[in-house]
Amino acid sequence: MANPSSWTPHVEAFVDTSRPPSEHVASIEATTKLVNNDLLSLLDLVKEMEMYLTTSDHVIRSRAEVLARITSKPLDSVSVSCLAEFFTSRLSDWQALRGALVGCLALLSRKGSLGTIAISNARKLAQSFFTYVQVQSLTVNDRKLSFEVLHCLLEEYPDAVVVLGDELLYGICEAVDEEKDPDCLMLSFQLVEIVIRLFPDPSDLVTRFAGDIFEILSKYFPVYFTHGGGDELHATRDDLSRALMNAFCSTPNFEPFAIPLLLDKLSSSLQSAKLDSLKYLTNCLRCYGADRMLKHSKAIWLNLKDVIFSFPPQRPLVLTTESSQDTERVEHQIGKEALSCLQTAMLCLTSPDKDVFINLILEDEDVVKRFGFVLNEGYSVGTSVDIHGQLNALGSIFSTISKSSTYFCTRVFQKYFPCLLDFLGVSRSGASYSIEMNNVNFPGRVNNAALYLCNDILSACKELTLDSLVFSQDILEQDTWWHVLKRFSDSLSYFAGSLVTTCNEAANSQIQQAVTHSKIRQESILYSMKVLQTLATFSEHYSPISESVYHDILLMLISVVTCKYDDVYLWNLSLKTLGQIGSSIEDIHDSAKGTIYSRTVVERAISLLQVDDSALPLSLKLDVVSEIGAIALDPMSRVLKALEEAIVFHISKACVDGRTESAETAICLLECYSSKLLPRFCTLQDFDEVLVLFAIRLWEQMESLVASKNEIKVQGLLDSLMMTMKLLVASCSEEQQSLIVKRAYTIVSAVKCLPLQPFSPSSKLEELRISPGFSIHNWLVSLFASVVIALRPQTTLPDVDILLNMFIVFLLKGQLPAAQALASILNKWPSNGNISELSSVYTFDQAIDLVLEKCFTVLSSSSFLANFYSSNDSKINAIAGLAWVGKGLLMRGHEKVKEITMFFLKCLLSSQNIEIMQLNQKELDARSLLATSAADAFQLIMSDSDVCLSKQFHATTKPLYKQRFFSSLIPVLLSSVKEYATMNTKYTSVIPETVLYRAFGHLISNTPLAAVVAESHKIVPTLVDCLGILSLNTQNKDLIYSLLLVLSGILMDKNGKEHITENIHLVINLLAKLVLYPHMMLVRETALQCLVAMSGLPHSRIYPMRLQVLRAVTKALDDKKWAVRQEAVRCRQAWASIA
């Protein structure tokens, strides 16, 4: 054992309050280490510290801190007993209370074989606690410790404390009463729940204390949470409310007190109180039991009814945009919670008589009155907000009741459904009709309210059947709702179907009179469509309609889709309904309906792609096949196959026969395939093979086009074909990608006139020529480039040296796809060697040197510059192609990107050479265009792309690559701008100075804002000059807007504001001009927003600029755009208030 002299200094160091906290921590750790290593026993520590135990609480804290740090160290029963008696005795010493609480908690928290307190010691500790500890007189931290001690006692030693009886419950009440701290309240509510659980119901003790305990709990309902977001709290308002609710529900003895309170709070004007009351009431219904709750049935229903009719669920009766305001969301939550509470009441209040509660609802005079009112006024539901709300509430009530059980559903059917059918004029004879207007006797007007309520009840019935996936004979028994529905389901189906098909027929005067108002007509269509959808989506065992009626519904809907496309609302709704019916087949695994759907809908949709004489526009055809194909794997596979056939057919017609309309059709088909169907198909299993086969088929089609030797001039078709090929390849695995690459390379390598020989060290510029050929060669290279762009880094590429040669040649010719492919190869090149076993002899660095050498040599040659202006498109593309290579290297963090950057900077700064004055005008124009292209290259390098080098196409990306590039380049650009500004005017005017500012603008507008703000002290003056220069050219408006967003971002930053303030005259002069910028509304609006933000800068700096700003803003008040005028008003108010 350690000598006391070795550890006493540690205790003295901790006791000494003049020592720094670091020494306190070190002393605790040293003492703990001695105890853990058995060099010091806890009992010896207590004995040797006798002189300190009565002086202050710091020694006790030291002792307790040590104990808290050795909870995993085994202690014998004698030690634990002694320590328990010691800390129990210390609970009466208020000076040592905190240390005693820490020690008690440490002892009570010990588990199993490590040594735990005996039951007798735990009981004595509890008695001492309730006798001496006045919890509410302590500090927050000590109160929290006290509640943790009580929590541990109740959870870990229930047998020790349950015998205390009255003393225990009284002590808990005294400890909890008047607590305010959220974290302590969480523990308090949990204590109440735990302590009541110790006395199983029925318990006379809990019954006697129920009123006192609930009186304490009720003070906290509803929970008001006033703590700010900066407070360091573990408990949130939701946590507190949930804990209080659990305490409310902990015993049925709270029922006489809780239910009246909750029902009273339902009438509160505070919406959060209503919401909490409903949640609590729902849980109390489950926990208190039917015997106790039945006497509250009437009060519960009356209060729920008031809430439901006051806050009906926000379900739009027509297709409208839902509001997103917070108040409406809360009201929507109240309505939903009230319906949830109603459903819980339906299920719980069933004993001994299950008719008690439902009779209150169905025989309620107010419900009957409202039902009659909405039906009498229900011919134009959407035109009245009051009818709309009451209809929503009634439908929700009927639906909630019906979903509760088969019996309740039957009661609703018997009470209300016949009446609804009578208002609709639907025959209940069960006679068979076809869905045609002349076979159904319509009333003079269509009652939309009746249709709406019919669908709500039918939807609840369907949900009731879906809840029992296993077949239930109870639903099909005689006199249930199912038999009632079965008798008239055919008539209702034909009624709704005929209404849909004839609602837009001008020939029928009765219907036309009913639907002259567009909104009323949309209501009729919407509700009829929903009734048809609901009837058609019952599961196989419970379907109330026959297969022939199901077929007729599908036939009617697909007929509307194929024939009545001029009615946009009806067409969209019919297509959506068909899709939802199809999706339900997959959900309920109904094979019979699946067969009918496939034959009636899927085959008809596919035929639209195979028949050109259909009047339905192509865009709508593609919407149909996209919607139908998205429902399941089998329809998706069939639609994809048909779409592939159509694509190949029209590509052939466009390329071989030169038919422009076929090219346009193929473009639309490819767009549908890649953007609508392919993303959905890729979420399914086993899709790789389908994609591979289609990609290879497209390549075989290209092979046949090469053989035909026809000239192809439809560029738009190539763009669509390339994007589709990229998405196909990108979605495949490495193995599948390899198959596509091999087939594509075989076809490309068979074309003799393509540059497919690798560079030799002695290759000259003259060798970089493309053999005479026709446009199909460009197509082949571009399409092969799209394959390379989308490959995964692990996928094998054949003959990389040959591919490098081909792509370099086409890059220099101005083919951007070749440049993108070259950039992808370099970006994804494995860091440990060659790209594949079949690759060239080049290493990665050698490949980069090869590409850069050939590009720099050609692009810097005098012949290139001489011809630059005459064929500017291809030359500009060549510059952009080099930028793509730089982007690929930059994203993977390779140093060679610096050489490309320096080349572009050389192009930008070429005007500094005095010899440029000796060039003629044509050469000067070529130089100017070259410099502009080089400036725009920085946008390509820094911006995100969706065509290449993206996450979608598996690019290699090094974190923070944009920030690093920005940090390395911004000093060079800033110094160049400064140097350029000091040059002689006759030289700087040769090439417009905007090119440097364009490069600067592209760089900072595409850099993450945080990196720009960090350098704002350097950037702000140049940024202001940049905006001023660029605003002189209308072609720069998009860049100006991007730079203004950067400026506003700097304004929002604390340090950025300081740098703006330093240049306030420059910034305000600029913004005062931009508020009148005529070429873009967003620029004017953003400039005004920046001025509003600047009104918060130091008064002494902005006051001198006040009049200048107000003059500029006054002119903006007459702007032709409302958004600008609104911002101008805000800006004038902000600056006018500066005095």
Tens of pLDDT, residue by residue over 428-456, are 654 444 444 334 444 446 788 888 999 99
What residues contact residue 582 under an 8 Å CB cut-off, 6+ apart? Answer: 597, 601, 602, 628, 631, 632, 635
Burial class (CB in 10 A: 0-12, 13-18, 19+), 985: exposed
Helix ranges (H only) for 320-405 are: 326-348, 355-362, 365-376, 385-404
What local confidence, expressed as pLDDT, does residue 242 receive?
93
Give me the pLDDT at residue 478, please.
64
Residue with more model confidence, 894 or 446: 894
Question: Hey, is 1074 helix, strand or coil?
Answer: helix
Q: Please give the average per-residue pLDDT across 14-33, as a whole number.
A: 62
The DSSP line for 1049-1068 is: HHHHSHHHHHHHHHTHHHHH
Residue 850 to residue 843: CA distance in whole angstroms: 10
How far apart CA 999 and CA 672 sit, in angstroms, is 37
Domains of the chain: residue spans and CATH: 71-227 (1.25.10), 251-341 (no CATH), 364-543 (no CATH), 554-631 (no CATH), 639-789 (no CATH), 817-1007 (no CATH), 1012-1139 (1.25.10.10)
pLDDT digits (tens, 9 = 90+) for 89-128: 888 887 778 888 888 888 888 877 667 888 999 999 999 9
pLDDT value of residue 820: 92
CB 548 within 8 A of CB 593: no
Local structure of 596: helix, strand or coil: helix
**Are the C-beta atoms of 332 and 313 separated by less than 8 Å?**
yes
- Percent of the chain whose pLDDT exceeds 90: 28
Region for 952 from its dihedrals, namely left if φ exceeds 0, alpha if ψ lies in -120 to 50, beta otherwise: alpha
Rounded CA gap, 508 and 770, in Å? 69
pLDDT tens digits, one per residue of 1106-1137: 899 999 999 889 889 999 999 999 999 999 88
Q: Please give the average per-residue pLDDT across 947-966, as a whole number.
A: 91
Q: Which two tokens stand for residue 496?
A: 């709704």
Spatial separation of the C-alpha atoms in residues 130 and 173, rounded to whole Å:
11
Orientation angle between helical segments 1016-1030 and 1037-1052, nearest 10 degrees: 150
User: Quick one: tokens of 107?
Assistant: 């002892």
State the DSSP code for 759.
Answer: P
* Token representation of residue 239: 């946590």
For 971: left if phi > 0, alpha if psi spans -120 to 50, otherwise beta; the answer is alpha
Biggest distance spanned by C-alpha atoms of the chain:
111
User: For 1082, phi and psi rounded to 5 degrees?
Assistant: -65, -30
Tell me what pLDDT residue 134 has.
92
- In angstroms, how far is CA 792 from the centroid of its own chain? 27
Whether pTM exceeds 0.85: no
CB-CB contact of 1039 with 998 (8 Å): yes
598-656: pLDDT as tens digits: 899 999 888 888 766 667 888 888 999 988 888 888 888 888 889 999 998 888 888 77
CB 912 within 8 A of CB 995: no
Interval 765-784: pLDDT, tens: 444 444 434 467 788 889 99
Cα gap 251→651, rounded to integer Å: 75
3-state secondary structure of 74: coil
Is the pLDDT reported for residue 664 higher than 90? no
Mean pLDDT over each residue of the chain, to the nearest integer: 80
Cβ proximity of 854 and 847 under 8 Å: no
Q: Which residue bears the tokens 């809908």?
A: 601
| pLDDT for residue 876 | 74
Q: What is the pLDDT of residue 1054?
A: 86
- Residue 942 confidence (pLDDT) above 70: yes
Q: Could you give phi then psi for residue 770, rounded to 5 degrees?
A: -100, 130
pLDDT of residue 227: 62
CB 430 within 8 Å of CB 495: no
Side-chain half-sphere of 625: how many Cα atoms within 13 Å?
33
Give 3-state DSSP helix, strand, coil % of the chain, rounded to 5: 75, 0, 25
pLDDT bracket for residue 12 (50, 70, 90): low
Tokens, residue 377: 């006024």
Distance of CA 322 to the CA centre of its chain: 18
Q: Give the separation between CA 187 and CA 194, rounded to whole angstroms.
A: 10
Tell me what pLDDT residue 480 has.
80
Is the pLDDT assigned to residue 397 strictly greater than 90? Answer: yes
> Residues 254, 248: contact at Cβ < 8 Å?
yes
- Low-confidence winner among 55-64, 95-104, 754-763, 827-836 (lowest mean pLDDT): 55-64
Q: Distance between CA atoms of 41 and 787, rounded to whole angstroms?
A: 74
Angle at the Cα of 776 from the Cα atoms of 619 and 611, rounded to 5 degrees: 30
Closest by alpha carbon to 279, among 240, 251, 314, 310?
A: 240
Asked if residue 493 lies in contact with residue 532, where contact means CB atoms within 8 angstroms, the answer is: yes
Q: Would you call the peptide bond into 443 cis, given omega within 30 degrees of 0 as the criterion?
A: no
Cα–Cα distances (Å) from 399 to 40, 525, 744, 911, in that order, read 72, 21, 59, 78
CA distances (Å), 311 to each of 317, 373, 386, 630, in order?
16, 19, 12, 36
Convert the pLDDT of each residue in 902-918 to its tens digit.
988 888 876 545 455 55
The two structure tokens encoding residue 365:
């005079």
Residue type for position 344: T
Measured between alpha carbons, how far apart are the two ends of the chain, in Å?
A: 78
Can you say whether residue 251 is alpha, beta or left, with left for phi > 0 and alpha for psi between -120 and 50 degrees? beta
Assign 41 a pLDDT band (cuts: 50, 70, 90). Answer: low
Give yes or no for a contact between 816 and 773, defined as CB atoms under 8 angstroms apart: no
* Gap between the Cα atoms of 489 and 495, Å rounded: 10
Whether residue 1023 is predicted with pLDDT greater than 60 in this model: the reply is yes
Strands (E), 1033-1127: none
